[in-house]
Amino acid sequence: MSGVRLLVGTRKGAFILESDGTRRDWTVSAPLFGGWQVYHLKGSPVDPNRLYASQSSDWFGQTIPRSSDGGKTWETVGNKFLYDGIPGTHQWYDGTPHPWEFKRVWHLEPSLTDPDTVYAGVEDAALFKTTDGGATWAELSALRGHSTGSQWAPGAGGLCLHTILIDPRRHDRLYVAISAAGAFRSDDGGATWKPITKGLYSKFLPVPTAEVGHCVHRIAMHPSRPQTLFMQKHWDVMRSDDSGESWQKISGDLPTDFGFAIDVHAHEPETVFVVPIKSDSEHYPLDGKLQVFRSRSGGNEWEPLTKGLPQADCYVNVLREAMDVDSLDPCGIYFGTTGGQVYGSADGGDTWTAIVRDLPPVVSVEVQSI
Amino acid sequence: MVRVELPYHLRQLAHVEPEVALDVPGIVTVAAVIDALEARFPMLRGTIRDHATGARRPFLRFFACEEDVSFSPWDAPLPDAVARGVEPFTILGAIAGG
């Protein structure tokens, strides 16, 4: 691998940031899909030049651009995300039944083996799949049809399916996370699902240990240990070593365990990164200091990483999809902020530089090592 | 030919100029114009009317001869000046947002 490509989704378009393996000098593309919200872009692991993007607008709905040349040119593919059958209702903020209504795609997860197969996590929460490169999409409706589906309620950002993980050792094992329904696992390619929330505790719920209702913000997995999952919940950083069957709290000595983003080092499965945010009411770092925290022990013991990051008067947020790692050596870590900065570290988090400072608010950062 | 004025985002999506000319067969109605527009520019499907309901997206309005026809029946004939291409059929996005 000789370089890195960052696919950055923002509130007003997408940008592609590229560098060689040194990761010192970067090029920043002109805006792609200018004026549209781009919640996520992601490339196929088997064909890195095959990219998919979620381009949406409150005015004009959802479209899906696809590139076959690494983002130089794009074509618009299918955008028909229709719920399977009669959609029914989920719970609204006020507790009343509310019909399922498609709003946008939050996350695109290409297959590990086929560039034409992609999973899409959408709001209102559902999982869709294409096997023809995005021309057509079909809902894997057993998820939304789970017996708890009518109880799912939105978080402040909507009832969104934002995390999709594919087990690299058995591709029929899928994990999804939904705000604010919780986390689910399928062992049969999406035909059936079970909540995986044992050990989660959410004090805002009438029953804090309920099976569903947890506001899971993000789940991360290292491909060499797919049975181990790391979760940033609304509050609490959690860990599972049994494929989500049970969870343990690993917030340890973090100064606050509220946050959105979480990721795992590319070469060290026990090295985890989070960006603590002050609270669920104050979505910015503690004390105006932007700090990434790293645990080299799989949680509980955390160290702040601050070199090169603003340590005064910084009140940006880092959203759930806005952090990723490259697979070069040493591992690079990248994250984007709601202030439009994209920061990168080419040394495992020890030092940081701003790759670009003035983009629109960053929603997602996806890394390709190419 | 029927002239259709498109808002910026849809122009960008369809890679066209602000106005497109469409051959609309039969009686020129809102439905017929949208049908013809989507047939010519398939990437616009779902961006003007919702895929699931077929309804006009709530942040969009339709204008013809300076009249708001957003709430007119979709199968009602549009003004003759629009049908003859003297006046455009305008799709307008809400002037709002950050």
Instruction: Please write the tens of the pLDDT for every residue from A178-222.
Output: 999 999 999 999 999 999 999 999 999 999 999 999 999 999 999
Residue that has been written with the tokens 């088997």 in this structure:
A46
CB A186 within 8 A of CB A129: no
Measured CA to CA, the distance from residue B40 to residue A80 in angstroms comes to 18
Q: How much is the mean pLDDT over chain A?
A: 97
- Residue from the list B10, B46, B60 with its beta carbon closest to the beta carbon of A62: B46
CA angle (A250, A127, A7) in 5-degree steps: 70
DSSP-derived secondary structure for A147-180: TTGGG---BTTBSEEEEEEE-SS-TT-EEEEEET
Distances B73 to A59, A352, B67 between C-alpha atoms, Å: 21, 59, 14
Residue that has been written with the tokens 């645990």 in this structure:
A295
Domains of chain B: 2-93 (3.10.20.30)
Measured CA to CA, the distance from residue A108 to residue A226 in angstroms comes to 19
Measured CA to CA, the distance from residue A137 to residue A144 in angstroms comes to 16
Domains of chain A: 36-214 (2.130.10.10)
* Contact yes or no for B46 and A61 at CB 8 A: yes
* Predicted pLDDT at B35: 97
Residue A336, φ and ψ in degrees, nearest 5: -115, 155
Nearest CA in chain A to B8: A35
pLDDT confidence tier of residue A308, bands split at 50, 70 and 90: very high
**Side-chain-side CA neighbours of residue B19 (13 Å):** 11
* Residue A238 Cα to chain centre, angstroms: 16
Measured CA to CA, the distance from residue A43 to residue A129 in angstroms comes to 15
- Residue from the list B43, B57, B60 with its beta carbon closest to the beta carbon of A76: B43
* Predicted pLDDT at A294: 98
Share of chain B above pLDDT 70, in %: 97
- ipTM reported for the complex surpasses 0.90: yes
Q: What share of chain B is helix, strand, coil (3-state, %, to 5)?
A: 25, 25, 50
For residues A91-99, average pLDDT:
96
Residues A189, A192, A197, A198, CA torsion sign: negative
| Nearest residue to A233 (alpha-carbon basis) of A183, A281, A273 | A183
Residue A236 identity: D
Measured CA to CA, the distance from residue A176 to residue A23 in angstroms comes to 32
* Predicted pLDDT at A158: 96
Residue B41 in this model has a pLDDT that exceeds 80: yes
* Contact yes or no for B9 and A59 at CB 8 A: yes
**Side-chain-side CA neighbours of residue B76 (13 Å):** 9
Measured CA to CA, the distance from residue A197 to residue A18 in angstroms comes to 38
> How is residue A148 written in tokens?
């708890």
* Residue A197 Cα to chain centre, angstroms: 18
Residue A1 in this model has a pLDDT that exceeds 90: no
Burial of A140 (0-12, 13-18, 19+ CB in 10 A): buried
For residues A88-101, average pLDDT:
96
Phi-psi domain of B55 (left: phi exceeds 0; alpha: psi -120 through 50; beta: other): beta
Alpha helix stretches (DSSP H) within chain A: none
* Predicted pLDDT at B97: 61
Measured CA to CA, the distance from residue A230 to residue A249 in angstroms comes to 10
* Predicted pLDDT at B95: 83
* Predicted pLDDT at A103: 97
Residue A144 in this model has a pLDDT that exceeds 90: yes
* Residue A195 Cα to chain centre, angstroms: 19
Q: Which of B10, B13, B44, B59 is most worth mutating to test chain A (most A CB atoms within 10 A of its CB)?
A: B13
Measured CA to CA, the distance from residue A192 to residue B61 in angstroms comes to 42
Burial of A357 (0-12, 13-18, 19+ CB in 10 A): exposed
Q: How many CB pairs under 8 A join A and B?
A: 53
| Nearest residue to A260 (alpha-carbon basis) of A186, A314, A301, A316 | A316
Measured CA to CA, the distance from residue B72 to residue B58 in angstroms comes to 15
CB B72 within 8 A of CB B30: yes
For residues B55-71, average pLDDT:
96
> How is residue B10 written in tokens?
């849809």
B-chain CB neighbours of A101 within 8 Å are 52
* Contact yes or no for B8 and A81 at CB 8 A: no
Measured CA to CA, the distance from residue A51 to residue A343 in angstroms comes to 22
Tell me the pLDDT tens digit for each residue of A250-284.
999 999 999 999 999 999 999 999 999 999 999 99
Measured CA to CA, the distance from residue A155 to residue A157 in angstroms comes to 5
* Predicted pLDDT at A2: 84
* Contact yes or no for B57 and A62 at CB 8 A: no
> How is residue A3 written in tokens?
């370089």
Dmax (CA) for chain A in angstroms is 54
Residue B98 in this model has a pLDDT that exceeds 80: no
**B50 at A interface, C-beta within 8 A:** yes
- pTM score: 0.97
